[in-house]
Structure 1
Amino acid sequence: TGGYVESMYGQASPWGERYDGWIYYVNGVMPSYGCGVYTVYDGDTINWYWGTMGGPEPIVVDCDFNDDGNVNISDLILLGQHYGQTGTPGWIIYDVYEDGVIDDLDADVVALYM
């Protein structure tokens, strides 16, 4: 209760259909109420993840493919050079969604870090 995020960066949450969706953590802890009623204080770190309710905080994905210290359009271009390629889930660093295919889901994850 208190504010549900239906979609971010074009990725809609399947609320009521499955247990995964957009989840937020504040200072490494998942609050027990929605983001619409959470009070943010100076120094708080808020992270949004696609994950499972009640699950552990997801591991942060390193989307800085060119190791320049920033996640930006250059990293999306590198991902795009592998668009459509398939393999075992997580087979290549560009398969950040770890579903075995380089596609829009991977690009969406990179965009979250930009």
Structure 2
Amino acid sequence: MADTQLPEPALAEIRLAAVLHALADPIRLQIAAELARDQGELACQAFDLPVTKSTTTHHFKVLREAGVIRQCRRGTSRMSHLRTADLGTLFPGLLDGILAAHLAEAGRP
């Protein structure tokens, strides 16, 4: 069975406001941080999130539609990975800065 790519914006369609909106939510920021740490692709069920399955699905959809992640169906799983190169091309340093700030904030008391 072949992978099926889920709809996402083309590089020229990604907007800064949509990316910032997607990453402003703590759950979506956690998803992005885990994908960045893994530096590959992860199945949606690999994330231990404090929300219901339907809410998790919504968060992944927001990230995908903003152009932050790419998803494909592989068998019964949805595999996700960050569009690091695309975001770096459009907004140099943005994703790295947001993720570094997230890590720094997580380390504060």
Identify the TM-score tier after normalising by the shorter chain: under 0.3
Q: Which has the higher contact order (CA 8 A, sep 6+)?
A: 2
Q: Which has the larger helix fraction?
A: 2
Tell me the TM-score normalized by structure 2. 0.24
The structure with more radius of gyration: 1
Tell me the TM-score normalized by structure 1. 0.23
